[in-house]
Structures are given as C-alpha cells and as structure tokens.
C-alpha cells in the first residue's frame, strides 16, 4: 500500500520545471532581481554568452524568451550554454506573454508551454541541445554576411572615433600612475574568477595596477584585492568595491549622460566620465595604453572569432577589434600568463628543498660527533648557498 501510494503521488506530480517568475524586457534590469530558483522572463533576440553566463550565475532554473534566442543572424553562444547546463529554455512565446505573466507568479515550464498552475499562459519552442546545435549550424552558414557587416561597422566606427583610437584624444586623466607599469584588467567574462585565482603568483610578484571592469571590480574584492581603478556602470557594481578604489571611470554617452554617476557621488567616491562609443572593457584597455602601461594582462576578456560574432548585435565589435589592434603586443591574456607562471619553479620551492638538504646535513654532522669546527664550516656553506639562491632567483 505504501509503495502504491508513492507511485500514485508521483503520477500526479506536475512535470517540468517550476520557479518564481521575474519579468522584465530589459535583461540588464532583470539580472539585478534574479535569484536562485527563479524563472527569467525577458525579450532578447539572440541571447549571447555573456547574458547566458549571468543567468547561470544567478542560478535560474528556467528562461522564457518572448523572442527567438537564436535568430540565425550569427552563431550566438548563449542558448547552447543554457541548455547544456540543464536550464529549461522556452523560446519565442511572443510579446503578449510578458503582459500575461506577472512578476512573482509561480510558473511551470513543460514541453514548450508555460503554465500558471494548470492554466496555460504562453506557448513557445522548447530548446534542446539537438535543436540548438542544428540552429547554430544554420547560423554559421551566414557568417560571411556577418563578416561583411562587421567590416562596414568597423569603418564607420573608426570614422566616428578616429581621434580616440589613433591619438588617445578624450582619454581622461586618472590619479593612478601606470607609466612603465603592468596593468591587470579584470572583467566579468567566462570563468574570470577562476582565472584570477590562477594569477596569484603573478600579482604577488609584479604588483600590477588593478583595474576592475563592471562585475570584475567585485571579483577583485572577493579575491582579497583592492582595485586601483574601476571602469563601468556604478549601478552594477557593489559599494564595497566602489569605496575601495582610487577613482571610478564612468562611460558616458554621446550627449554626456553617464548612467550611475549619481551613485558614485552619493558614496563620496571620486569619479570621471569617459565619453566614447566603445564598451567598458575597451575603454579600460585604452586607458591603460594612453597612460603608458608597459604590459596589459586581461582576465575575462575574450576576442576570438566566435566572440566577435557572438557580440555582433551589440555594436561593440568594431571597438574591440580596433582597441586590440591599438594595444598590439602590449596585450596578453591572463591564461597565458598563468601558464607561464605554472611552468616556473618558485623561489619558495627551491628554498624549501635547499633548507631540507641543509637540515639533514647539520643533523648528520651533529649526530656523528665530528665537532664544532665542522659545524662552523657547514654554517659557512649554508650562508654561501643562500647567497647563491638569492642571486639566481632574485
């Protein structure tokens, strides 16, 4: 009877993914209100990788999109990441669904249908790994058209921002000296917190200027560092990080409006605006280059072909492409720096090895009763060896 009751309850339990709806057409506003177990309801054509990673970081269980998450214009990476992580993705439910679904409703997603209790409130396309893979294959066939569009956008961007890109005109002064110093720029890209952890030895050894971009500023603080500069929208950055830095550089629009500037001023933190069409990541790189950095190491910034195309709809690609051309050989990805440091034998390891060998030698001499003279000679040898290690490893 007990087993029969359990089977009966299982048969009557609603199928699918359940969670509390958080509704907003604007993804940036929605992300601020999402929490674990929520279902994000938004209107976003072509979910890119950055948005998908933000949704995963918020620990949502489902996503309902009024628009197609893959339009076919280019092979965007977000839907692939969501479904591979087990997130229920219901696509193309239509704009009317955002009026029907209210914030705080408890929804259930099953078979491409959005339910409120037992009532259907919206219907769309349930994305699966196979469906997303097929859509990406079709989207890749249109990449040549996207590359042509990218070329045209790059020329237009250079026409508008020529003085900034070529001559550094408009780059604001900042109170942090960067000339002939290394600069570490941390942005909130893929696995950026893990990548920053792998750079502990590099940071300890080279003491670079620490620049946090948007979420990267909070990541620096979480890792125990204080950012020297922050570049980005202060509204999306924690108060702890804002108060810890020397100055905040706020990207400004063409009309001079700088979103989030009021929040910085309310916290009593120094701020300066940076009017430019590029995104915050590119502005951080241009700041470092214009102020004479000898090397710029990036964390959480990716600029391969897939990333260029993935962010094609945002208009940021020409900025990213030209900015990286501007920095040239000064620009190094953090993964490469971490790999180089892993391959080196650290001074601490060498010192531990030498110290162990010396200890064994001293104990052996003392135990053999050879005499104080030999112990004094061993001490002189230890001092010489220590000087040699110091000279080799600095």
**Tell me: the pLDDT tens digits for 45-54?**
889 888 898 8
Q: In whole angstroms, give the CA distance from residue 50 to residue 357.
A: 51
pLDDT at residue 380 is higher than 70: no
Q: What's the pLDDT score for residue 295? A: 95
Averaged pLDDT of the chain: 81
pLDDT at residue 151 is higher than 80: no
Query: Please, which pLDDT band fits residue 148 given cuts at 50, 70 and 90?
Result: confident
Query: Please, which pLDDT band fits residue 291 given cuts at 50, 70 and 90?
Result: very high
Phi, psi of 357 (to 5 degrees): -65, -40
Mean pLDDT of 172-177: 92
Q: In whole angstroms, give the CA distance from residue 354 to residue 352.
A: 6
Q: Is 242 exposed, middle or buried (0-12, 13-18, 19+ CB in 10 A)?
A: buried
The alpha carbons of the chain give a radius of gyration, in whole angstroms, of 28
**Tell me: the pLDDT tens digits for 101-131?**
999 999 999 999 999 988 999 999 999 999 9
Query: Please, which pLDDT band fits residue 311 given cuts at 50, 70 and 90?
Result: low
**Tell me: the pLDDT tens digits for 329-374?**
899 988 888 888 765 545 555 555 555 655 555 555 555 554 444 4
Q: What's the pLDDT score for residue 181? A: 96
**Tell me: the pLDDT tens digits for 1-17?**
455 555 455 455 678 99
Mean pLDDT of 53-82: 90
When comparing pLDDT for 25 and 349, which is higher?
Answer: 25
When comparing pLDDT for 314 and 268, which is higher?
Answer: 268
Share of the chain above pLDDT 90, in %: 41
Residues 6+ apart with CB under 8 A from 238: 217, 218, 221
Neighbouring C-alpha atoms within 13 Å toward the C-beta of 325: 10
Alpha carbon distances (Å) from 290 to 181, 239, 254, 285, 296: 12, 28, 21, 9, 12
Give the lowest-confidence range in 152-161, 183-192, 306-315. Answer: 306-315
Q: Are the C-beta atoms of residues 54 and 74 closer than 8 Å to each other?
A: no
Q: What's the pLDDT score for residue 389? A: 47
Other CB atoms within 10 A of residue 219 CB:
24
pLDDT at residue 299 is higher than 60: yes
0.85 cut: is pTM over it?
A: no
Q: Is 80 exposed, middle or buried (0-12, 13-18, 19+ CB in 10 A)?
A: buried
Q: What's the pLDDT score for residue 394? A: 45
Give the lowest-confidence range in 125-134, 146-155, 245-254. Answer: 146-155
Q: Are the C-beta atoms of residues 57 and 32 closer than 8 Å to each other?
A: no
* Bridge-based pairing state of the strands 106-110 and 88-91: unpaired
- Helix, strand or coil, per DSSP, at residue 360: helix
- The structure tokens listed for 386 are 């220590």
DSSP state of 16: S
């Amino acid at each position: 009877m007990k087993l029969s009751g359990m089977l009966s309850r299982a048969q009557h339990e609603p199928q699918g993914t359940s969670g509390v709806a958080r509704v907003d057409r604007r993804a940036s506003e929605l992300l601020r209100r999402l929490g674990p177990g929520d279902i994000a309801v938004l209107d976003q054509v072509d979910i890119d990788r950055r948005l998908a990673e933000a949704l995963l970081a918020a620990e949502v269980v489902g996503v309902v999109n009024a628009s197609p998450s893959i339009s076919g214009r280019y092979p965007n990476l977000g839907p692939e990441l969501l479904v591979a992580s087990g997130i229920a993705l219901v696509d193309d439910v239509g704009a009317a669904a955002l009026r029907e679904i209210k914030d705080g409703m408890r929804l259930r997603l099953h078979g491409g249908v959005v339910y409120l209790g037992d009532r259907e409130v919206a219907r769309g396309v349930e994305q699966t790994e196979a469906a997303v893979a097929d859509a990406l294959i079709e989207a890749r066939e249109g990449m040549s058209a996207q590359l042509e569009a990218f070329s045209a956008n790059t020329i237009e961007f250079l026409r508008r921002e020529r003085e900034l890109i070529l001559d550094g005109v408009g780059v604001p002064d900042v109170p942090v000296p960067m000339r002939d110093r290394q600069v570490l720029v941390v942005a909130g890209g893929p696995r950026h917190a893990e990548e920053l952890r792998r750079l502990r030895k590099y940071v300890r050894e080279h003491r670079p200027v620490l620049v946090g971009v948007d979420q990267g500023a909070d990541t620096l603080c979480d890792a125990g560092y204080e950012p020297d500069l922050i570049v980005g929208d202060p509204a999306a950055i924690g108060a702890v990080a804002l108060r810890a830095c020397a100055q905040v550089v706020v990207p400004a629009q063409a009309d001079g409006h700088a979103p989030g500037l009021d929040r910085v001023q309310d916290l009593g933190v120094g701020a300066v605006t940076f009017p430019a069409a590029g995104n915050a990541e590119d502005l951080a790189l241009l700041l470092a280059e214009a102020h004479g950095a000898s090397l710029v190491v990036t964390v959480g910034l990716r600029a391969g072909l897939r990333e260029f195309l993935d962010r094609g709809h945002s208009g940021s690609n020409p900025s990213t492409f030209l900015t990286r051309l501007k920095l040239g050989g000064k620009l190094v990805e953090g993964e490469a720096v971490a790999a180089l440091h892993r391959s080196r034998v650290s001074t601490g390891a060498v010192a531990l090895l030498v110290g162990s060998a010396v200890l064994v030698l001293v104990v052996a001499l003392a135990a053999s009763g050879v005499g104080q003279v030999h112990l004094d000679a061993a001490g002189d040898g230890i001092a010489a060896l220590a000087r040699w290690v110091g000279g080799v490893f600095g």
